[in-house]
Amino acid sequence: MKDIRALQTVELKAIELPEFKEIRGKDWIAFGSQNMFPQLLIDLYQSSSIHHTCVNAKIDAMTGEGFLAYGDTVINTQGQTLNDLLDMIAQDFILFGSYSLNLIWNRAGDRIAEIYHLPVANVRSGKMNEDDVVDTYYYSSNWANTRKYEPKAYPSFSLTDNRGDMASQIYYFHPYTPGSNVYALPEYQGALNDIELDKRISRFHNANISQGMFPGLFITLTNGNATSDERQMIYRDLERAFSGEQNAGKLFLSFVDSPDRKPVIETIDQANDDYYIILSNRVRESITTAHRITSTRLIGINDASGFSNNADEIEVAYAHFLSTVIEPLQKQLVKSLDRIIRGFGMNVKLEIVPSKLDVRGTVTTTPNS
């Protein structure tokens, strides 16, 4: 039986950048702690409202209005188009800093017959060969349970060795990163702990409201030692009566036959509102800075600074955002697709139609000449 008098401390560890290690007995290179760093990034994306909004804003700007031409070209038997592919790989590229494709060559090996998006979070790199090149990648839909979801090996993309068993390949793209030849890190990597903090702040306030009593009150009962079962019963009764937002403002009534036996109720001082405001502002600034979003109005957060009106600031900030953040990322992505598209039999130049904001802050398509 749990003793409610026991106090425990919990060590909260900071998020460390992942190490890429070869594991004895495994053919792939581990991606961070327990080989699960991409899944950590997914959890942070789903748990931090500010980070989630920043990522979505970059994805929307990245995809724009789709490809200027050839966007409706069907690329596989599922009927997916180049524009569909752009939507999927842009999400992976922004969230993980990389993306992956499953390429299937025709029997002759002279043309890519089909192109499929592969969730890059499910792809792991094989070990480098003697030429320091990764020639095999591994795919599993659940790296936390590789016994049930056994990783499947695929040869890496090759223009020449692509027939027979080598016809189904994985193309794994990530920009050059000093110190890493196998995996990419997202460009917001410097704010991982702030994103985790944003998640914890939200859960902390939610728990405070839901649990009500903790950590606001410390109650001491002075009527002697109770048994373990009695302590548990008293604790549950108090928790049921006074915890939660629905119990706010309830009366606490006690009957005692002596003043010496009355319960002692002490208030635990909590941080004032300014502390949480300062902390929230710091977290927001760190996350938006890591995403290179210079104006929070681009993600729907107003502030006291800026130009003479919101429309002026949004237009200038969005133009700066496109030219310094989005366009370089688009160039990397389009360039990485060039040789894939050529292998698909399309000797064309892909171009993404950008979006811009008018003075009213609505999104419009920019004509291309």
Q: What is the pLDDT confidence band of residue 6, given thresholds at 50, 70 and 90?
A: very low
Single-letter amino acid code for the residue at 308: S
From CA 103, how far away is CA 143, in angstroms rounded?
A: 22
Compute the distance between CA of residue 236 and CA of residue 267 in angstroms, rounded to an integer.
20
> Is residue 331's pLDDT more than 90?
yes
| Token code pair at residue 244 | 């939660």
Task: Give the model's pLDDT for residue 215.
Answer: 52
**265 has pLDDT over 80:** no
Angle at 60 between CA 138 and CA 104, to 5 degrees: 30
Q: Give the pTM.
A: 0.78
* Residue 139 near residue 121 (C-beta atoms within 8 A): no
pLDDT higher than threshold 60 for residue 247 = no
Report d(CA 168, CA 103) in Å as an integer. Answer: 6
- The predicted structure's pLDDT at residue 208: 65
pLDDT > 70? residue 133: yes
- Which of 139, 162, 159 has the alpha carbon at shortest distance from 149? 139
Q: Residue 214: what pLDDT?
A: 47
- Residue 100 predicted with pLDDT over 90: yes
What proportion of the chain, given as a percentage, has pLDDT over 90?
55
Q: What is the mean pLDDT of the chain?
A: 83
pLDDT exceeds 70 at position 347: yes
Sign of CA dihedral 77, 81, 87, 90: positive
Structure tokens at 27: 């053919």
pLDDT band at 311 (very low <50, low <70, confident <90, very high): confident
Tokens encoding 148: 């049930």
